[in-house]
Structure 1
Amino acid sequence: MTRIDFYTHVAQPRHFACRAAQTVYRKGESLLIALPDEPALQAFSQALWSFGDVSFIPHCQWQQPEAGMTPIWLAAGEFPEAAAGRVLLNLSPDMPADPAAFTRILEVVGQDEASKAVARQRYRRYLDLGFDIHHHNMSDVA
């Protein structure tokens, strides 16, 4: 069964998401990072390239030719079926139509009210669907 992890009260969501991507990569897992649109995808890609001085987080857009050899895929405004079996880092305003297609889903929730409202809605939907949900309060994490 797919495990859903909500990381709430995140002070710097983009930085936290880069760190999460790095952790998934270091564990040897494949990852899809879902973003709202193309500008957000480009900004996040840039953040991954410049995340650390010596770290490298290999990634590409999911439909690029090199995607078959790349552990981290980026998608704008969609949850491609080809990503089934991967971990999903959901930075999109939407929820995947088939959450069970992913091994795990990471939901990053900022400190603003809009993020919290979306997260509450998703939490209820995942709960209604019977998923294993875990909550991590990140308010004490810098």
Structure 2
Amino acid sequence: MTEVAFHFNVPDKLVYSCRLLRKAWSSGARVVVTAEPDTLSRLDQMLWTFSALEFVPHCRLTAAPVTVAATPVVLAGSLQACPHHDVLVNLGPQVPEGFERFERFIELVTLDDDDRAAARSRWKHYTDRGYAMKRHDLASAGTP
């Protein structure tokens, strides 16, 4: 069964995503990130620029199949044609269709009231279906 983890009190979802993806890539994990198209575009740009000394290899799911298959971080608006099902990161407000095919699934939740309300709904969706939930509260962990 998919391991579901929520990271709460994320100050900036895209900056945190860049750090999370850098850590995942350096550990050898393969990750799919799903979100609204605008969010994926902004994340794509940030992954190119957030660190002058480190690059996180990434591509869009719409890239050439050989590129997608070889790239450890894939940005996908839909999960239908994902090249792997290792780790999924959701930056969007909805439950991603097909999340249950992934081994690990991470939800990022900011301090914004609307984002928190949507996260509560997603949390209930997963718990109602029997998923074991992990909670990572960045506020109590002292993470900026």
Query: Is TM > 0.5 for Structure 1 vs Structure 2?
Result: yes
Tell me, which stretches of 5 or more residues in structure 1 are unaligned?
none
Q: Is the 8 A contact 1:84 1:101 kept in 2?
A: no
How many residues end up aligned between the 2 structures?
A: 140
Give me the CA root mean square deviation.
Answer: 1.3
1:64 is matched with: 63
Provide the identity percentage.
Answer: 28
CA distance in 1, matches of 2:97, 2:130: 15
CA distance in 2, matches of 1:57, 1:23: 9
CA-to-aligned-CA distance 1:65-120 (integer Å, 9 cap, x gap): 111111110012x2224345221110122212232201111111000100100110
How far does residue 63 in structure 1 lie from its aligned partner after superposition?
Answer: 2.6
1:12 is matched with: 12
Tell me, which stretches of 5 or more residues in structure 2 are unaligned?
none
The residue identity in structure 2 corresponding to 1:133 is: M
How far does residue 22 in structure 1 lie from its aligned partner after superposition?
Answer: 1.0
2:143 is matched with: 141
The residue identity in structure 1 corresponding to 2:143 is: V
Give the TM-score normalised by the residue count of structure 1: 0.92
CA distance in 1, matches of 2:35, 2:98: 17
1:75 is matched with: 76
- SS of 1:82's partner is coil
Give the TM-score normalised by the residue count of structure 2: 0.91
How far does residue 29 in structure 1 lie from its aligned partner after superposition?
Answer: 1.2
Q: Is the 8 A contact 1:61 1:67 kept in 2?
A: yes
The residue identity in structure 2 corresponding to 1:57 is: V
